[in-house]
């Protein structure tokens, strides 16, 4: 199972772009990279997923370099409501077992006015 490493916490200000990087040096060929967001007292919710290059949706962008050993979640023009914990998960969705089910401690993002 690929292990992930991400910063424990980050601070930014409203209107800024925030980039959170996740390291996953032992990512396997069939692994996808998935990011979740968790607000206090709620379960995590899916933000974005990618396999390689760049993926963009209405909430965020995900940048994945060619070697796939890291990924960067980019949140454009953050607001106070983006204050949350962000988790990076790596796993094969068809891999069976606990693949893709393991969360790390995540990155606590705090947005200030």
Partner 1 sequence: NAGVTQTPKFQVLKTGQSMTLQCAQDMNHEYMSWYRQDPGMGLRLIHYSVGAGITDQGEVPNGYNVSRSTTEDFPLRLLSAAPSQTSVYFCASRRHAVGGTPPGTQYFGPGTRLTVL
Q: Which is nearer to partner 1, 70 or 106 (CB)?
A: 106
Site for partner 1 in 60-99 (CB under 8 A): 85, 87, 91-94, 96-98
Residue 55 burial (CB count, 10 A): 16
Do residues 77 and 60 lie in contact, with contact meaning Cβ atoms separated by under 8 Å?
no
Q: Is position 2 an interface residue for partner 1 (rule: CB under 8 A)?
A: no
Tell me the closest approach of the beta carbon of residue 103 to partner 1, in angstroms: 4
Q: Which is nearer to partner 1, 15 or 93 (CB)?
A: 93
Q: Is position 100 an interface residue for partner 1 (rule: CB under 8 A)?
A: yes
80: phi then psi, degrees, rounded to nearest 5? -55, -30
Give residues with Cβ within 8 angstroms of 67, minimum separation 6.
none
End-to-end CA distance of the chain: 39
Q: Which is nearer to partner 1, 29 or 42 (CB)?
A: 42
């Amino acid at each position: 199972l690929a292990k992930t490493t991400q910063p424990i916490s980050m601070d930014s200000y409203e209107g800024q772009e925030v980039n959170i990087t996740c390291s996953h040096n032992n990512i396997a060929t069939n692994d996808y990279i998935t990011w979740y967001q968790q607000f206090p007292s709620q379960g995590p919710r899916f933000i974005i997923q990618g396999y390689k290059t760049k993926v963009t949706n209405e909430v965020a962008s995900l940048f994945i370099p060619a070697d796939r050993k890291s990924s960067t979640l980019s949140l454009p023009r953050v607001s106070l409501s983006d204050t949350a914990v962000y988790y990076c998960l790596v796993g094969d969705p068809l891999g069976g077992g606990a693949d893709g089910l393991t969360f790390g401690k995540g990155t606590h993002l705090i947005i200030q006015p």
